[in-house]
Amino acid sequence: MADQQEKFQDLTLAEFTSKLASAEPVPGGGSASAIAGSLAASLLAMVARLSLDRPKYEPYRATNERALQAAETARSRLMQLADEDAVAYAAFSAARKLPHETPEQEAARVSATEAAAKAASEIPLECVRECARLLEEIEAASGRSNLNAASDLEVAGRLSAAAAHGAGANVMINLPMVGDERYAGGTKVELNELLRDIDRTLARVSQNVGRGTLRPVEND
């Protein structure tokens, strides 16, 4: 099992992918999704920096300054969520291995599993929410940032959407084990709405990038 004292952000890319490729259960798809989202945020930050202090994009300064701040916040938060997801899944795995030979042990195991499954659902759901917020900033910056880096912005959008769908898959697989139908139902509704909005936002990013021209300045 991965050393939970070790932060993924402290690993080299080669070290992280080696851990991801191992037979250990963590890191897994949830952490990989969060890190993909962090890469998307990094690309948005890059595009914003390539746009600020360029005379051609001065009218879009407010958009790019906001995008840069949002991207750095998202980059940090998504890396944190990658670690949190690994911890949550490790707890879920440990709960499933609890003894269950007596009724008391079985009850304790079920209770621990449900609590761990809920945490393992909430963390990737927060990743989806974070990616949705990030994609809104990517969409706002598309056509209002350095056109020479427009493809990087589309990559950011696609990575963010992929991260959200990947995290969403983790939400869905854990929900049945939470043991709370009301919670599961409400979570599914929120998740489906988020993913629909994400797909629509990504489509707008692609359209904006595909035009290859600048858009009007955002309204205050």
Q: How far is 20 from 175, CA to CA, in rounded Å?
A: 23
Taking only the tens place, the pLDDT of each residue in 27-42 is 999 999 999 999 999 9
SS (H, E, C) 48-114: HHHHCCCHHHHHHHHHHHHHHHHHHHHHHHHHHHHHHHHHHHHHHHHHHCCCCCCHHHHHHHHHHHH
Q: How far is 140 from 42, CA to CA, in rounded Å?
A: 16
Measured CA to CA in angstroms, residue 151 lies from 56, 126, 157, 188 at distances of 18, 27, 10, 32
152, containing H or E segment:
helix 150-174
How buried is residue 21: exposed, middle or buried, by Cβ count under 10 Å (0-12/13-18/19+)? exposed
Those residues with Cβ within 8 angstroms of residue 172's Cβ, 6 or more apart along the chain or in another chain: 188, 191
The angle formed by the CA atoms of residues 131, 41 and 7, to the nearest 5 degrees, is 90
Q: What percent of the chain has pLDDT over 70?
A: 97
- Domain residue spans in the chain? 27-211
Beta carbons of 169 and 106 less than 8 angstroms apart = no
Taking only the tens place, the pLDDT of each residue in 163-207 is 999 999 999 999 999 999 999 999 999 999 999 999 999 999 999
Amino acid occupying residue 28: G
**For the domain 27-211, what is the CATH code?**
1.20.120.680
47, containing H or E segment:
helix 29-51
- Residues present in the chain in total: 220
Q: How confident is the model at residue 1 (pLDDT cuts 50, 70, 90)?
A: very low
Beta carbons of 162 and 69 less than 8 angstroms apart = no
* Among 132, 137, 148, 139, CA closest to 195: 132
> In this predicted model, which residue has the larger pLDDT, 103 or 131?
131
Q: How confident is the model at residue 5 (pLDDT cuts 50, 70, 90)?
A: low
Bond before 59 cis per omega within 30 degrees: no
pLDDT > 80? residue 3: no
